[in-house]
C-alpha cells in the first residue's frame, strides 16, 4: 500500500530539516578539533615574548636577565674545552629584543666572552655562552615584583669564589704601607681612631702551620697577617676596617626621583666619595659591598662584612615616600623589639624587599645564615650602633634638615651582623625634588661624606674598638 500524499510530504519535510542538523554537527566538530589542536600544538602566536634583556657584569658574578610576559621553562648544561654554558628555553621564538643580548656582552665581562642566540628547534631557543673560565651557574625564575614582569635569571659564579681580603690586597686596600701610626686630631676635636695593643712575641709555628701549603705567594701571607704596624713605643697598632654598603644595585634600582635619578646610582657615588675620605685617615681602610652596578643580596652584604672582621658597617640609602613633600636625613639601627615608629617599620619593610626585587635564588639562599644573624643580634651590638648612629646623625644635621632628631630603630635585615656596630643612613628623600637636586650635586655629596667621616671619627674617639684575633 502506497503512502498518502500527506505522509510523503511529511517525510520530505523531515529529511530536509535533518540536513541542517547534520551540517551543524560537522561544523561544531571541526571547530572543536581546531580548538583542541590550537591548545595542544605549539603556536607561534602563543609563544612568550621577551620584553627586555639585561646584563650585570661584576667581579662577584655576572647576571643575565630575560624579562618576559610569561613563565619560561629552561634547562641548561655546561660543556668543556672550551668552557661553555648552554641554555634551552621552551615556549619561545626569537625576536629582536632577544637577539640584542649578543651586543650587551661587554669585552671586560669577567666571565662571559660572547653569547650566541638561535632557534634550536620549533618553539625552543638556545643560548650558548662562551666563557672565559669555568663557572658555577644558577638558572632560576622570578615572579613579577616591583616594576618587573616574569624574569628568567642566569647567575654565573666563579668556581673559586672571590676572597674579599685577597681582593682588597690586590686593590691595595689591605695594607698600611704609607699610613702613619701616630695619633691625629679629628676635625670634630676627637682623637684619631688608632687602636694600640701591647705587642706580643710571635708564637712558634705549630705542626699545622708547618704543614700548611703556601697559597698564592704574598697574598696568603698578607691575609694571614693583616696590616700590623708598631708605633715608637713598641705597641701594635691595628687597622680599623669600615664596610660601606651602597644600597640596591643591578636589578634593584631602589627609589627613583622625579627627574629620573636612581637611588642605586646616587648612593654608590656617595659611598665612593666616603671611601676616599676614610682612607685618608691613618690606620683605617674600607671595603665596599659593591663597587659597581650589580645586585648583592642582603645576607651577602652582612656576610662580606663579617668575613673581613669589620669594625663598622654603614649602609647608605636615599629615601622615598608617597608624598613628595617628605624631606630630611635619618639614621637607623637594628631593633629587637619592634620599630621605634610606624614610618621606621614601613621603611624597614620596604628596604627588606630588596631580595625580592633584586632577585635571589631561593633554592640556594642560605636561610640558616639569615636565621643565625637574627638570633645572635645582641643588645651590646645595638647599643654600640646607637652610639655610632648618634655621632653620625649629629654631624649630618649640620648640612641637612633631619627628618627626625634622634636615631630610629627597626628590623632592617642588612643591620643584623651580631658582632658589628651597624647603621643605615637615609641621606635624603630622593622623592622630594629639592632633595633630589641636592643628592645629584657633587658639592652636597662631598659635604655628606665629610659629615659621615666626622661622625665615625667622633664615635671611635669615644669608643675605641677592642683588639681582634688574627684573620686566617
Q: Is residue 446 in some structural domain? A: yes
Asked if residue 215 and residue 195 are part of one domain, the reply reads yes
> What is the average per-residue pLDDT within 335-339?
79
- The grid coordinates of residue 230 equal 708598631
pLDDT given for residue 378 in this prediction = 72
Is the pLDDT at 321 greater than 90? The verdict is: no
Asked if residue 435 and residue 358 are part of one domain, the reply reads yes
DSSP 8-state code for residue 329: B
Is the pLDDT at 345 greater than 80? The verdict is: yes
User: Do residues 334 and 266 lie in contact, with contact meaning Cβ atoms separated by under 8 Å?
Assistant: no
Residues in a beta bridge with 230? 236
HSE on the CB side for 377, CA within 13 Å? 25
Residues 24-43 have pLDDT tens digits of: 555 545 555 554 444 444 44
Centre a 10 Å sphere on the Cβ of residue 456 and count the other Cβ atoms it contains: 28
> For 115-216, where are the alpha helices, taking DSSP H only?
164-171, 207-211
Q: Is residue 30 in some structural domain? A: no
ω before 48 within 30° of 0 (cis)? no
Pairing status of strand 73-79 against strand 195-197: unpaired
Q: Which of 96, 95, 77 is nearest to 87 (CA)?
A: 77
Pairing status of strand 236-238 against strand 195-197: antiparallel
Q: Where a domain ends, among 140, 158, 176? A: 158
Under 8 Å CB-to-CB from 5, ≥6 apart: which residues?
Answer: none
Q: Is residue 366 in some structural domain? A: yes
Pairing status of strand 150-158 against strand 62-68: antiparallel
Chain centre to alpha carbon of residue 135: 19
pLDDT given for residue 171 in this prediction = 66
Asked if residue 257 and residue 296 are part of one domain, the reply reads yes
Asked if residue 422 and residue 325 are part of one domain, the reply reads yes
Q: Where a domain ends, among 158, 174, 209? A: 158
User: Do residues 131 and 83 lie in contact, with contact meaning Cβ atoms separated by under 8 Å?
Assistant: yes
HSE on the CB side for 10, CA within 13 Å? 5
Pairing status of strand 330-334 against strand 408-410: parallel
> What is the average per-residue pLDDT within 398-404?
92
Asked if residue 123 and residue 185 are part of one domain, the reply reads no
Q: Is residue 29 in some structural domain? A: no
Pairing status of strand 312-319 against strand 135-142: unpaired
pLDDT given for residue 180 in this prediction = 35
Q: Which of 54, 42, 15 is nearest to 252 (CA)?
A: 54
Grid coordinates 687602636 are at which residue? 195
DSSP H or E segment with residue 304 = helix 298-307
The values of phi and psi at residue 75, to 5°, are -120, 150
Asked if residue 353 and residue 221 are part of one domain, the reply reads yes
> What is the average per-residue pLDDT within 1-30?
46
Q: Which of 265, 328, 255, 251 is nearest to 295 (CA)?
A: 251
**Least confident interval from 1-10, 158-167, 279-288:** 1-10
- What pLDDT band is residue 451 in, cutting at 50, 70 and 90? very high
- The grid coordinates of residue 130 equal 662562551
Q: Is residue 22 in some structural domain? A: no
> What is the average per-residue pLDDT within 233-244?
79
Under 8 Å CB-to-CB from 241, ≥6 apart: which residues?
Answer: 284, 285, 286, 287, 308, 309, 310, 311, 312
Q: Which of 255, 248, 245 is nearest to 432 (CA)?
A: 255
Q: Is residue 39 in some structural domain? A: no
Number of domains in the chain: 2
**Least confident interval from 206-220, 284-298, 415-429:** 206-220
Is the pLDDT at 324 greater than 70? The verdict is: yes
DSSP H or E segment with residue 268 = helix 263-278
User: Do residues 441 and 451 lie in contact, with contact meaning Cβ atoms separated by under 8 Å?
Assistant: no
Is the pLDDT at 163 greater than 80? The verdict is: no
* CA distance linking residue 186 with residue 189, whole number of Å: 5
Question: What length is written for the chain?
Answer: 472
Asked if residue 184 and residue 110 are part of one domain, the reply reads no
Asked if residue 170 and residue 111 are part of one domain, the reply reads no
Asked if residue 392 and residue 292 are part of one domain, the reply reads yes
pTM, 2 dp: 0.76
- The grid coordinates of residue 139 equal 638558572
Q: Is residue 231 in some structural domain? A: yes
Asked if residue 173 and residue 150 are part of one domain, the reply reads no
Average pLDDT along the chain: 79
* CA distance linking residue 200 with residue 369, whole number of Å: 35
Q: Is residue 35 in some structural domain? A: no
* CA distance linking residue 354 with residue 468, whole number of Å: 32
Is the pLDDT at 344 greater than 70? The verdict is: yes
* CA distance linking residue 232 with residue 236, whole number of Å: 10
CATH number of the domain within which 280 lies: 3.40.630.40
> What is the average per-residue pLDDT within 227-246?
73
Asked if residue 310 and residue 294 are part of one domain, the reply reads yes
CATH number of the domain within which 109 lies: 2.60.40.3500
Q: Where a domain ends, among 131, 158, 185? A: 158
Alpha-carbon radius of gyration of the chain = 31
Asked if residue 405 and residue 337 are part of one domain, the reply reads yes
CA pseudo-torsion sign 34, 35, 40, 44 = positive
Q: Residue 304 is part of which domain span? A: 164-462
pLDDT given for residue 377 in this prediction = 53
Percentage of the chain lying above the pLDDT 70 cut: 70
Centre a 10 Å sphere on the Cβ of residue 321 and count the other Cβ atoms it contains: 18
Amino acid at each position: 500500500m502506497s503512502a498518502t500524499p500527506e505522509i510523503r510530504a511529511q517525510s520530505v519535510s523531515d529529511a530536509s530539516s535533518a540536513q541542517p542538523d547534520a551540517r551543524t554537527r560537522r561544523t561544531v566538530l571541526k571547530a572543536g578539533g581546531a580548538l583542541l589542536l590550537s591548545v595542544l600544538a605549539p603556536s607561534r602566536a602563543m609563544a612568550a615574548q621577551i620584553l627586555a634583556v639585561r646584563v650585570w657584569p661584576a667581579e662577584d658574578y655576572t647576571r643575565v636577565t630575560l624579562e618576559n610576559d610569561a613563565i619560561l621553562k629552561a634547562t641548561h648544561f655546561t660543556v668543556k674545552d672550551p668552557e661553555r654554558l648552554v641554555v634551552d628555553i621552551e615556549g619561545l621564538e626569537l625576536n629582536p629584543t632577544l637577539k640584542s643580548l649578543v651586543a650587551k656582552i661587554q669585552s671586560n665581562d669577567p666571565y662571559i666572552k660572547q653569547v650566541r642566540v638561535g632557534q634550536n628547534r620549533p618553539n625552543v631557543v638556545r643560548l650558548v655562552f662562551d666563557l672565559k673560565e669555568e663557572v658555577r651557574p644558577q638558572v632560576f625564575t622570578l615572579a613579577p615584583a616591583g616594576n618587573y614582569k616574569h624574569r628568567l635569571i642566569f647567575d654565573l659564579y666563579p668556581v673559586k669564589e672571590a676572597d674579599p681580603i685577597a681582593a682588597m690586597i690586590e686593590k691595595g686596600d689591605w695594607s698600611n704601607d704609607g699610613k702613619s701610626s701616630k695619633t691625629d686630631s679629628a676635625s670634630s676635636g676627637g682623637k684619631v681612631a688608632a687602636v694600640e695593643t701591647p705587642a706580643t712575641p710571635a708564637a712558634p709555628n705549630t705542626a699545622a702551620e708547618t704543614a700548611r701549603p703556601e697559597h698564592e705567594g704574598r697574598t696568603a701571607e698578607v691575609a694571614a697577617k693583616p696590616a700590623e704596624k708598631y708605633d715608637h713605643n713598641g705597641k701594635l697598632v691595628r687597622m680599623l676596617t669600615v664596610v660601606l654598603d651602597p644600597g640596591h644595585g643591578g636589578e634593584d634600582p631602589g627609589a627613583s626621583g622625579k627627574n629620573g635619578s636612581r637611588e642605586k646610582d646616587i648612593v654608590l657615588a656617595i659611598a665612593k666619595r666616603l671611601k676616599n675620605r676614610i682612607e685618608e685617615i691613618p690606620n683605617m681602610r674600607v671595603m665596599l659591598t659593591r663597587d659597581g652596578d650589580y645586585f648583592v643580596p642582603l645576607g651577602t652584604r652582612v656576610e662580606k662584612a663579617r668575613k673581613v672582621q669589620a669594625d663598622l658597617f654603614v649602609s647608605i640609602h636615599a629615601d622615598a615616600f608617597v608624598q613628595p613633600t617628605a624631606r630630611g636625613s635619618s639614621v637607623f639601627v637594628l631593633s629587637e623589639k619592634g620599630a621605634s615608629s610606624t614610618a621606621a617599620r614601613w621603611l624597614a619593610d620596604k628596604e627588606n624587599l630588596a631580595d625580592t626585587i633584586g632577585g635571589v635564588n631561593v633554592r640556594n639562599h642560605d636561610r640558616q645564615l639569615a636565621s643565625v644573624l637574627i638570633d645572635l643580634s645582641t643588645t651590646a651590638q645595638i647599643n654600640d650602633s646607637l652610639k655610632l648612629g648618634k655621632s653620625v646623625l649629629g654631624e649630618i644635621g649640620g648640612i641637612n634638615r633631619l627628618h627626625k632628631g634622634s636615631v630610629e630603630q627597626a628590623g632592617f635585615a642588612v643591620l643584623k651582623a651580631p658582632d658589628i656596630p651597624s647603621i643605615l643612613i637615609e641621606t635624603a628623600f630622593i622623592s622630594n625634588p629639592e632633595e633630589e637636586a641636592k643628592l645629584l650635586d657633587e658639592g652636597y655629596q662631598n659635604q655628606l661624606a665629610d659629615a659621615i667621616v666626622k661622625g665615625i671619627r667622633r664615635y671611635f674617639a669615644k669608643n675605641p674598638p677592642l683588639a681582634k684575633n688574627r684573620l686566617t
